[in-house]
Structure 1
């Protein structure tokens, strides 16, 4: 008989996936050491000293049950997901999407885990797996430190890690927005007055586009090649793809009453609440690698943002992920080192909720392993099963 409390488990990384994994392990009376380098050291994109920080958008996407994103949320809630339960408490209005106050969500998750008796938090940067543990879950995310990335590639995988570049959008102070030049509302009236909207005439749109294309950008280093994730492209990259790419993308003008606006807009910029109080707004779809000076100049061309105070500038960062189908079993552990599990975006999934899901699943599969139980696999007809199928398409 295996005594669960004798198992030594290390979880590396206190992001969404790591925290979700830790919570399930603790619920099963396992002792966990959680390694997190914050607040001693921060990645280029992290700002908070607390756990489960959202570094890009504050939206966890739609809650519609008929949408894969909605299905995944309901499946995770049925499994008592820590992160999603706290996200509901930190929710800010955003139509049928689950958007959150990122500071509050991080605090709620951190406070919950800090109360656990079987958890020891070790605040230090990890450059290799710490010795003395029976099992590991690596949940260091797409911003895994350079030293640990090299260790994973050289020692655990014996191959190069893959990467792509991701960008984050700027946030502006709500009080600095001229409300007389914008209007509240959601597309197709889904959610009421949850967004601030900036309607643009054709002339204003093309003036913005022209300046955006000419703007100075933060250069990549000589050895870096710009590989971007298609779902989060910098706005200036989209602008280069065609004159109307933005007007048919993040700035599409559909779903609003033209009578309320007073004219037929050629494009609409949306701003989404960053916190419950509405003191800050994220410019939706405006992730960028423009220089700070150019962000101020060009985004202040938008009606209502002439005096915008930026609380966070857009930026670009490199994301790391492994070739999961090559290196991982369907149970998220390494094929040749089965006591080492991976979770979160480092496995190649994209999105907050997907990261949460792999965190929960990695812990569940680890528990099955400890108990010597054949893992119960979710059907491919479920959102969780479909997510796992990116690793092994043989799942039924």
Structure 2
């Protein structure tokens, strides 16, 4: 990897973070070389060579920018000219109040836009060592190749932190029994009838639920390799791990029956409900919401066909489990997302310890802008912590406790409190609106502020 041009930024990894970083830096005037090892070197989780491929869910979660922190992050990214958000909006699927996308056309569109940008060169091939010099962003994500992960560990002098992440199965829509299941978004959320029917719901009686829990617990699971321990991210627990934590856990989590009425039996309240969300624009594929799993394939088909409405289900993809790695960012990175021991290297995306597509892309957005400004002899002002972007970058670069650092989704708990607001559930709506109003003003101000000359 050559760094002969001083205004060239090398980005390693073409996922959400790397793609967004490349777009932002290139639009700021930097020459970008984007290195992506796929399709020359694949991973067990990726299916294509497209940039920004969505591996797990097809959802960017809530799009509510007044009452939800991730929705606010969507707003901030759109205001900053995010490629990821632009393409997500262009390939949006009905999902109630969530932003779900048609994953393959989305990734193909991101790839095409990056290849067409005059300041971006996409270079295939694996990078196995840390660069000795030259501006670099490492955005290799949780599936960083073994050689590069070893190089990072050797440089930082620490063992890489790791947790295990699981993928939810995808079902062919035509094999769902709609005489049992029905279409409805929770609380009928959505502005259109299509959005209000964006989910397919499968009801369970108490007896069916109890039998399902028993089967989950008893099912044969994927074994870990010697020396590996399971340190799951709580936001992406395998469903059988949730079941093992308590028989009611699922009924108060992904299988909660609230906000739903079964039109086949409107007077009967389901004990639990399994939801499936559309996974492509054609509506031929649905993923089982919250059903990440480490069960073996044979067990998965047996257990999931116990769900009413899925008794004859055919699966386009079964669930799986993989190891995700991330660095101890509060110890290793400075406020500009630079590696303290090698300041010419920045990290971005999920490898920094943020969790989720949107959060990963957001950290790529910031890293790209920070790197481009530095190449041009400027320093961007610190991102206000009252914004969703600022809350995240502050968390990973010093706000979190290094000893207990774990991957984190954006949430209002990362924001400084707004003075004078009532605490408690009754005041939550006003409090969240105050957070988002304050954040939007601060983010708009930050975007409009000029960069200072670098010292």
TM-score calculated relative to the size of structure 2: 0.83
Give, in whole Å, the separation in 2 of the partners of 1:152 and 1:281: 38
C-alpha spacing 1:393/1:211, structure 2 compared with 1 (3 Å): closer
Q: Paired residue for 1:317?
A: 322
- 1:339 to 2:344 alignment: yes
Give, in whole Å, the separation in 2 of the partners of 1:63 and 1:265: 28
Give, in whole Å, the separation in 2 of the partners of 1:219 and 1:169: 18
DSSP-derived class of the 2:74 partner: helix
Give, in whole Å, the separation in 1 of the partners of 2:32 and 2:46: 24
Give, in whole Å, the separation in 1 of the partners of 2:389 and 2:271: 39
Give, in whole Å, the separation in 1 of the partners of 2:94 and 2:229: 38
- Residue-pair matches, total: 391
DSSP-derived class of the 2:40 partner: coil
C-alpha spacing 1:34/1:259, structure 2 compared with 1 (3 Å): closer
Q: Paired residue for 1:172?
A: 171
Contact 1:39/1:123, CA 8 A, preserved across alignment: yes
Which 4+ stretches in 1 moved above 4 angstroms? none
Displacement, 1:83? Answer: 0.3
Pick the aligned partner of 2:370 from 353, 365, 369. Answer: 365
After superposition, residues 77-116 of structure 1 pair within 5 angstroms as 77-116=78-117
Q: Paired residue for 2:45?
A: 45
Give, in whole Å, the separation in 2 of the partners of 1:326 and 1:180: 55
What are the ranges of 5 or more consecutive residues in structure 2 without an aligned counterpart?
A: 191-195, 401-414, 417-455
Give, in whole Å, the separation in 1 of the partners of 2:281 and 2:230: 36
- 1:392 to 2:398 alignment: yes
Give, in whole Å, the separation in 1 of the partners of 2:332 and 2:80: 27
Pick the aligned partner of 1:380 from 361, 374, 385. Answer: 385
Q: Paired residue for 1:279?
A: 284
Displacement, 1:373? Answer: 2.2
Displacement, 1:115? Answer: 0.7
* Cα RMSD (Å): 1.7
Displacement, 1:45? Answer: 1.1
Give, in whole Å, the separation in 1 of the partners of 2:33 and 2:80: 23
Contact 2:256/2:272, CA 8 A, preserved across alignment: yes
What is the CA deviation profile of residues 37-92 of structure 1, one whole-angstrom value per residue up to 9, with x for unaligned ones?
A: 11112112111221101111111010111211111110110000000010001111
Q: Paired residue for 1:194?
A: 198
Give, in whole Å, the separation in 1 of the partners of 2:233 and 2:105: 28
Q: Paired residue for 2:406?
A: none
Displacement, 1:32? Answer: 1.5
C-alpha spacing 1:130/1:121, structure 2 compared with 1 (3 Å): farther
Displacement, 1:393? Answer: 3.4
DSSP-derived class of the 2:373 partner: helix
TM-score calculated relative to the size of structure 1: 0.95
Displacement, 1:376? Answer: 1.1
Give, in whole Å, the separation in 1 of the partners of 2:264 and 2:394: 46
Q: Paired residue for 1:289?
A: 294
Q: Paired residue for 1:224?
A: 228
DSSP-derived class of the 1:98 partner: strand
DSSP-derived class of the 2:179 partner: helix
What is the CA deviation profile of residues 180-225 of structure 1, one whole-angstrom value per residue up to 9, with x for unaligned ones?
A: 1100001111021110000110011111111111100111111211
Displacement, 1:130? Answer: 4.9
DSSP-derived class of the 1:167 partner: strand
Displacement, 1:158? Answer: 2.0
Q: Paired residue for 1:264?
A: 269
What are the ranges of 5 or more consecutive residues in structure 1 without an aligned counterpart?
A: none
Displacement, 1:129? Answer: 3.0
C-alpha spacing 1:36/1:259, structure 2 compared with 1 (3 Å): closer
After superposition, residues 101-140 of structure 1 pair within 5 angstroms as 101-130=102-131, 134-140=134-140
Contact 2:182/2:262, CA 8 A, preserved across alignment: no
DSSP-derived class of the 1:338 partner: strand
What is the CA deviation profile of residues 117-141 of structure 1, one whole-angstrom value per residue up to 9, with x for unaligned ones?
A: 232222111111356x621000000
Contact 2:349/2:360, CA 8 A, preserved across alignment: yes
Q: Paired residue for 1:184?
A: 183
